[in-house]
Amino acid sequence: MNKYICLILSLFLTISLFTGCTKAAVLTFDSQGGSEVAPVEIKSGNPVGFPNDPTKQGFYFAGWFTSPDGNGVAVKDGAFYTSSVTLYAYWVSDKTELDKTNKITISLNLNNGECEKTEVLISPGSVIGDLPTPTKNGNSFTGWYTDNSTEEIDTLVTPEKTFTENTTVYARWRRIWTLKFSAQEAQNQEELTPIKVLDKGTPVGLPTPVREGYKFLYWYYTSNNTQTEVNRDFSITNDYTLSAKWEKI
């Protein structure tokens, strides 16, 4: 029995000695011209709990950082420290800068397209949501990708995709091939609207223009001063303008 009591007392003394030797870390706050913030003492290895944010006339408080210029590590509630450290308040004068400080930036590379936005701000670790749809003359937008050289499915940016750091995403495009019709004398202009396809070589059915007093013979295109007649089932391999060939009746 005495043996067990001695063992328990020995274990208790060991734990007490270890606990008593645990040093406290002191967090010193340099508010850099803001209201004073008292130091905080925490036991080594315990999570940080910050006091109330400081204030500074004409500025927004953007957080505590490990360097005075805000380029160090941003320290949040729940961080762990085992030794004393000085943290610096970082201030911004513009609300937009404040948003950027607390969020990450998703830069939109338009690849020569046009869009009302060139970047999106989100909280680290949150989903990206719906990104804007850019436009590009003569092209169809196929999506945003994290890789500018491929459209592999794992590089496609879906609304559910999350980001934890500043990232650039790229607009990808497919060329639109256009077939136009030149037959100003035709009476059925509504049937002669341009045909647009995404896949080069796509066969299309050609409309038949109608002109009073004339018989339509065929469509043709001109290249290098040479007229080439086209079949009714025409494959678009480039941008073309087809002209109508008529015969008076």
Indicate whether 197 belongs to any domain: yes
Indicate whether 1 belongs to any domain: no
Ranges of the chain with pLDDT below 50 = 1-21
**Same domain? 115 vs 165:** yes
Where is the domain boundary, 94, 112, 127?
94
Indicate whether 121 belongs to any domain: yes
**Same domain? 165 vs 115:** yes
Overall domain count for the chain:
3
Indicate whether 7 belongs to any domain: no
Residue 142 is predicted with a pLDDT of 94
Residue 3 is predicted with a pLDDT of 47
Q: What is the CATH number of the domain that holds 193?
A: 2.60.40
Range of the domain at 50: 22-94
At 125, list the tokens: 């670790």
**Same domain? 189 vs 243:** yes
Residue 101 is predicted with a pLDDT of 67
Residue 135 is predicted with a pLDDT of 97
Euclidean distance between CA atoms 247 and 221, whole angstroms: 17
**Same domain? 43 vs 78:** yes
Q: How far is CA 9 from CA 2, 18, 22, 158, in A?
A: 11, 14, 20, 61
Indicate whether 11 belongs to any domain: no
Q: What is the CATH number of the domain that holds 37?
A: 2.60.40.4270
Indicate whether 17 belongs to any domain: no
Instruction: Please compute, for residue 138, the number of CA atoms within 13 A of its CA located in the half-sphere on the CB side.
Output: 7
Residue 49 is predicted with a pLDDT of 75
**Same domain? 171 vs 111:** yes
**Same domain? 206 vs 171:** no
Residue 8 is predicted with a pLDDT of 44
**Same domain? 186 vs 166:** no
Euclidean distance between CA atoms 25 and 41, whole angstroms: 6
Task: Report pLDDT digits (tens) over 198-233.
Answer: 998 899 999 999 999 999 999 999 989 899 999 877
